[in-house]
């Protein structure tokens, strides 16, 4: 009898809380957006189901059902407003103070990347962004192109073995390729992951996005006492250990290189009074090596930044930097293989830029001339969004252009999958049409690297890496679709990826 009464009491509390919530300011403002009525405890969570890989497809179906416009969704006690209109996207991304990332997203990310620049706020975020900015400015780009060209030669030694022989799986080789470029360019450490495609870091890295996405959408994982005894938790902790150990190794290796340089400088200037501090400061100011800046940085109390803090930032940069860029390059090459007439147009542009001398490596000046290739990459991102959604957790009410208000406490998400299919912005969105990006459009119709104060700080590096890599590949090979049965099986996780990889055929050009 006691348990029945207790159960009745709990049920009454749940319905009372739900009744109170739906009479509050937040629900009043939320109800101005289309969406289904949430049920107590679960909200609209049951509509998404329990398969995290299918969540984006179900969100897209909701968007279409609501008239292809902004809509709302409640997951438990959390409320989302999903944006697909460029004016509203501009409102949130341009906002000077609403820069906090969504709670659910941070909870999913922090076990892997801690309080890094992606999740941090306040002084930690500001100081880290300021520290990182010089390593991604225009002055560093030429050196980045040189690094890409250097590692393309190594990549082609592998790709040449596939010339006219079956198909190559792009993720397998482009992930270590991009990782090697990033480590050389930003960490000052030469790695050779491309020679060890089954390296534990790469094997662990392939699990990260899947686990984070499941943490984000599998709501039971937030019940820690339950999640912590599952095999999924053990897999997550093993994965985290592997990627963090890799960052520890990078930091240790770079410290050895720096100490060797310092010792050599002192040995060569034994009879000269030199200010080592000034030499280091001068080197940091003129170098694009981001890891050096972290190693020599100071915490607010004046002490050297701890290795734990550096590790968080390096783990984030190494993973996101190589993983997202690899996805975009791979997906663009797949689209070029799928649409050979567009590949031919890219090739014609390459011929005009290089005067048919395809043995020449691109420079930043030549990359800037590749307008059609850039349009193709953008259209590939539009059709296969690399990042599926980004968001902000509102601290205050936010008013959109049409007068509707997103209430404080809501998560406002830029829903790229739907925004890039919005027929009002992209006519005939089902067509692969790079020319649409050669015309003017709303500034916030296409912002895959975000925008405003919390944009992706490495977007220039990413564009250099993507354009230079694809340019070098297309000058050397014709890319074609893989055999039947190798078609990509895309799933929209936090990063869109194919569960069976990206398979294409390569044929060396006779140029």
Residue positions forming the annotated binding site for heme: 456
- Tell me how far apart the alpha carbons of residues 414 and 85 are, in angstroms, rounded to a whole number: 9
List the Cα angle 170/175/181 in 5-degree steps.
125
Token representation of residue 39: 């049920």
- Tell me how far apart the alpha carbons of residues 87 and 501 are, in angstroms, rounded to a whole number: 36
Feature table: binding site: 456
**Quick check: 117 and 132 in contact, CB under 8 A?**
yes
Closest CA to 112 of 291, 314, 249: 314
498 three-state secondary structure: strand
DSSP 8-state secondary structure symbol assigned to residue 356: T
Question: Which residues have a Cβ under 8 Å from the Cβ of 14 and sit 6 or more positions away?
Answer: 40, 41
Query: What is the secondary structure of 28-91 as a DSSP string?
Result: HHHTTS--PPPBTTTBTHHHH-S-GGGHHHHHHHHHHHTTSS-EEEEETTEEEEEE--HHHHHH
**Quick check: 73 and 430 in contact, CB under 8 A?**
no
For residue 155, give the H/E element and its range.
Answer: helix 141-159
Residue 469 C-alpha from the chain's centroid? 18
- Tell me how far apart the alpha carbons of residues 175 and 206 are, in angstroms, rounded to a whole number: 10
């Amino acid at each position: 009898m006691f348990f029945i009464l207790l159960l009745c009491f709990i049920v009454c509390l749940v319905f009372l809380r739900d009744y109170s919530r739906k009479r509050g300011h937040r629900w009043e403002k939320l109800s101005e957006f289309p969406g289904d009525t949430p049920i107590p405890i679960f909200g609209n969570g049951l509509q998404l189901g329990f398969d995290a890989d299918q969540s984006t497809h179900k969100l897209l179906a909701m968007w279409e059902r609501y008239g292809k416009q902004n809509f709302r969704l409640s997951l438990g006690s959390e409320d989302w407003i999903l944006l697909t209109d460029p004016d509203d996207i501009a409102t949130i991304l341009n906002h000077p103070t609403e820069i906090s990332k969504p709670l659910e997203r941070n909870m999913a990310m922090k076990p892997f990347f801690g309080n890094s620049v992606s999740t941090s706020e306040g002084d930690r975020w500001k100081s880290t962004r300021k520290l990182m900015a010089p390593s991604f400015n225009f002055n560093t780009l030429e050196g980045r192109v040189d690094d890409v060209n250097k590692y393309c030669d190594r990549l082609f030694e592998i790709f040449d073995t596939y010339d006219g022989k079956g198909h190559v799986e792009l993720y397998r080789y482009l992930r270590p390729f991009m990782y090697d470029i990033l480590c050389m360019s930003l960490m000052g450490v030469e790695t050779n992951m491309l020679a060890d495609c089954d390296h534990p870091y790469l094997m662990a890295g392939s699990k990260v996005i899947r686990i984070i996405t499941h943490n984000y959408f599998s709501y039971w994982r937030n019940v820690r006492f339950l999640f912590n005894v599952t095999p999924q938790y053990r897999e997550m902790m093993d994965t985290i250990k592997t990627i963090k150990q890799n960052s520890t190794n990078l930091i240790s290796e770079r410290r050895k290189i720096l100490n060797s340089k310092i010792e050599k400088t002192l040995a060569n200037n034994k009879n000269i009074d030199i200010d080592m501090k000034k030499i280091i400061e001068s080197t940091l100011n003129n170098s694009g090596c981001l890891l050096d800046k972290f190693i020599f940085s100071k915490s607010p109390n004046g002490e050297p930044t701890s290795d734990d803090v550096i590790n968080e930032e390096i783990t984030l940069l190494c993973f996101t930097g190589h993983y997202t860029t690899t996805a975009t390059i791979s997906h663009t090459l797949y689209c070029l293989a799928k649409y050979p007439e567009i590949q031919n147009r890219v090739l014609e542009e390459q011929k005009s830029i290089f005067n048919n001398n395809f043995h020449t490596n691109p420079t930043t000046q030549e990359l800037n001339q590749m307008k059609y290739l850039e349009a193709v990459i953008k259209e590939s991102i539009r059709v296969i969004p690399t990042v599926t959604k980004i968001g902000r957790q509102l601290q205050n009410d936010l008013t959109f252009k049409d007068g509707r208000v997103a209430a404080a406490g809501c998560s406002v998400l830029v829903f790229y999958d739907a925004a890039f299919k919005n027929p009002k912005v992209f006519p005939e969105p089902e067509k692969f049409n790079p020319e649409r990006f050669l015309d003017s459009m709303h500034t916030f119709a296409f912002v895959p690297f975000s925008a405003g104060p919390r944009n992706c700080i490495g977007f220039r590096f990413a564009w250099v890496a993507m354009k230079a890599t694809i340019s070098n590949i297309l000058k050397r090979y014709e890319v074609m679709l893989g055999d039947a049965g190798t078609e990509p099986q895309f799933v929209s996780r936090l990063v869109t990826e194919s569960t069976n990889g990206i398979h294409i055929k390569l044929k060396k050009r006779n140029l």
